[in-house]
Structure 1
Amino acid sequence: MTETTSKSERSELVDTIERYVRFWNPGADDAFTAETLVEDVEYCAPVGVLTGSAALVDFRRQFTDHMGSYEFRRRTAPDLHHDRARLSWELVTATGDSFAEGTDVLTVADDGRVRAVTVFLDRPPAGFDAHA
């Protein structure tokens, strides 16, 4: 955490990150999604660019349908400054195997909801082709 981010700003960013992590795990409902993401959130990942919270909910549903049970979790404490956060994450399958690791850079709106995400795959899933 940098000195340019106040204690209250850090606390708000940490709360946002915790909601964001919970959002990516199966079971988040519409009300929780609305608390976590702005309606027109921008999501830029190697698999594509998505706009809108409904698009992210659909993407999560498709991923859950494909993967079954999994856990999206933080690998380390997030790096924070101003309205930005860098989150290192891991996807773990129901059998406990690590599926993939990445880093998301979040931009947070004044109301504490995520307004933009840029995703980097640090260790993509086996067989992943970023150019496909």
Structure 2
Amino acid sequence: MKEIVTRYLDTWNATDEAARAELLADHWSEDCAYVDPLAEVQGREAVGMTIQAVHAQFPGFVFTSVGEVDAHHQQVRFQWGLGPDGEEPVVVGFDVVVVDADQRIRDVRGFLDKVPA
């Protein structure tokens, strides 16, 4: 399941729209859902637009895995950080990702643990 987290973070780190669309098509189910305190969207296109909005708000920042990945059955939970590459994350969150039978990301429930003032 660590591979799922890698694919997930790769998608969030993709700044090129075509590359991001390819990652979404390859690794996310067509009817995927994403919910966090700031967004609730359905489908790959809406997830892509959400990611694009985060890049607009935090230009040049990258998502990194923070801590250990915990998984069982078809779900994985992990903490992530968002900040300048190689620096302490400005934002820290915690996500639970559920995959479908084809190991594509189907459902994401996100929480924000640390946000800038």
TM-score of the alignment, normalized to the shorter chain, above 0.5: yes
1:40 has 2:28 as partner: no
What percent of counterpart residues are identical? 26
Preserved contact between residue 11 and residue 23 of structure 2 (Cα < 8 Å): yes
Q: Distance in 2 between matches of 1:66 and 1:126?
A: 12
Preserved contact between residue 26 and residue 64 of structure 1 (Cα < 8 Å): no
Q: Deviations over 1:12-47 (max 9, x none)?
A: x22222100111103343222111211111111000
Q: Deviations over 1:91-112 (max 9, x none)?
A: 0125834211011001011101
Preserved contact between residue 38 and residue 53 of structure 1 (Cα < 8 Å): yes
Give the AA of the match of 1:126. Answer: P
Give the AA of the match of 1:42. Answer: A
Preserved contact between residue 39 and residue 50 of structure 2 (Cα < 8 Å): no
SS in 1 for 2:35: strand
Where in structure 2 are the equivalents of 1:70-85 lying within 5 Å?
70-85=61-76
1:26 has 2:14 as partner: yes
Please identify which structure carries the higher strand content.
2
Aligned with residue 120 of structure 1, among 102, 111, 117: 111
Q: Give unpaired runs (5+ residues) of structure 2.
A: none
Q: Distance in 1 between matches of 2:56 and 2:98?
A: 28
Preserved contact between residue 70 and residue 77 of structure 2 (Cα < 8 Å): yes
Preserved contact between residue 90 and residue 98 of structure 1 (Cα < 8 Å): yes
**CA 1:95–1:83 in structure 2 vs 1: closer, same or farther (change >3 Å)?**
closer
TM-score of the aligned structures, taking structure 1 as reference length = 0.79
Aligned with residue 53 of structure 1, among 40, 44, 60: 44
Q: Report how many residues are paired.
A: 114
- Provide the aligned C-alpha RMSD in A: 1.5
Q: Give unpaired runs (5+ residues) of structure 1.
A: 1-12, 128-132
